[in-house]
Amino acid sequence: MSFHSHTLPNGLHLIGETSPSARSVALGFFVRTGSRDETPEESGVSHFLEHMMFKGTPRRTAHDVNLDFDRIGASNNAYTSEENTVYYAAVLPEYLPRAIDILADILRPSLRVEDFDTEKQVILEEIGMYDDQPGWAAGDHARKIYYGPHPLGHSVLGSTASVSALTRDQMHAYFSRRYAPNNLIVSAAGNFDWNAYVRLIAEACGGWEPAEVGRENRTEWAGVGGLHVLTRAKVQQEHVMFMSGGPPADSPLRYAADTLALAVGDDSGSRLYWELVDPGLAESADCSYYENDGSGCASASYSCEPEEVSGNLAIVQKVLAEVQKDAITEDELQQAKSKIASRVVRGSERPMGRMQAIATSWSYTGEYRDVDKELENFDAVTLADIRAYLDRYPIDKATVIAFGPLENVDGIEGKVV
């Protein structure tokens, strides 16, 4: 595999990993914008705009967009997060020019008022649908509480009120501000010709106008602390999350953070698994590390029957305190490394996985890491690195959020949500 990079005069970054042995190619337009980049009045606009991209352009109707993807057998979609909005497709190599044409075209949408008004109702229904899913609602509320005033706490979907009040002109202003070519990365991986790829992207996107664009509040965050109880009577189980600070995406400590999270809360063979899931005290328990621009986060969580909440709360607090004090064992470290190596290798076997991986790395660090380098970075993690991570980001200093039917947890009265 070979890596290439190029920047167009308008600031659009092109990256690619060519693999002649691959049987397909994956392409993605990564826009460096998400809910953290929205004002309160724009809450939910990034996700709403993602939907609008597929509603037609000056060259294509919404039906044409779908039909053109179908004609080339594309596996295509899009997603919005707190930090990125991504549009992607995987196709056979011979269809890459057409995939580039379609994706580049939809990234300059018509944003017609009638489409905006129709799609707004779809978004409002989606907000209600997700809010009815306890796991999603718990996580959304937890993030808002943990981050407090930090923009990473902004909801990706927005609220019923914010989306209802949003206007087409607000969306267009946001699009003009954030979808500048100097705020995008176009990533490709698989079987394709790099020079032809550069030429095609330049023809399709070279005329896009750059703009002054950036990101504010790229600051580390350690949470607001305390136990917060959110009551929703119709939820059957209690969902409890422990959120603490972590290294940002460009920190070398991210490898230690990812490794420790797996040792503490993988869905099998981890400390939380043996303490809560194996004995039947909780239906699920895990620990994850989330890398973000400027501020990472570690999150341990469990879901269980209401009567088990207090006992499980004490167990997790004990586990986190023990890990904070004594870290993990060499056996736990090696087991976590093996799982991560398997994850990295399996993800790299598809062009889509590599396209996403190289774009993420480039977006956060400006660096390219091939599979061997990524494996090397994780394999190099030592117990000393785990200790350094824990000393810098104590996992037992957590903001705890309980979401479910309970009106009181350990003496803290719940707030109905």
Q: Is 328 helix (H, G, I), strand (E, B) or coil?
A: coil
pLDDT in tens, 368-406: 999 999 999 999 999 999 999 999 999 999 999 999 999
CA distance to 38, 64, 284, 310, 408, per residue, from 305 (Å) = 37, 49, 11, 10, 14
What pLDDT does residue 216 have?
83
**What percent of the chain lies above the pLDDT cut of 70?**
100
Residue 217 has pLDDT above 90, yes or no: no
pTM: 0.94
pLDDT band for position 1 (cuts 50, 70, 90)? confident
Burial class (CB within 10 angstroms; exposed 0-12, middle 13-18, buried 19+) of 402: buried
CA distance to 3, 186, 194, 200, 213, per residue, from 15 (Å) = 7, 6, 9, 13, 20
Instruction: Please give the DSSP secondary-structure letter assigned to residue 414.
Output: P
**C-beta atoms surrounding 168 within 10 Å:** 16
pLDDT in tens, 50-60: 999 999 999 99
Whole-number mean pLDDT of the chain?
Answer: 96
Question: For 2-205, which CATH superfamily applies?
Answer: Metalloenzyme, LuxS/M16 peptidase-like (3.30.830.10)
pLDDT band for position 246 (cuts 50, 70, 90)? very high
pLDDT in tens, 264-292: 999 888 999 999 999 999 999 999 999 99
pLDDT in tens, 62-81: 999 999 999 999 999 999 99
pLDDT band for position 213 (cuts 50, 70, 90)? very high
Identify the H or E element spanning 63.
Answer: helix 62-71
pLDDT band for position 208 (cuts 50, 70, 90)? very high
For residue 50, indicate whether it is catalytic: yes
What pLDDT does residue 186 have?
98
Token readout for 395 is: 């996992």
Residue range(s) of every CATH 3.30.830.10 domain in the chain: 2-205, 227-416
Mean pLDDT of 150-154: 96
Burial class (CB within 10 angstroms; exposed 0-12, middle 13-18, buried 19+) of 160: middle
What pLDDT does residue 268 have?
86
**What percent of the chain lies above the pLDDT cut of 90?**
98
Helix 168-178 and helix 113-131, axial crossing angle in degrees, nearest 10: 90
Fold classification of 227-416 (topology level) = Cytochrome Bc1 Complex; Chain A, domain 1 (3.30.830)
> Per the residue annotation, which of 17, 38, 42, 50 is the catalytic one?
50
What pLDDT does residue 352 have?
96
pLDDT in tens, 97-138: 999 999 999 999 999 999 999 999 999 999 999 999 999 999
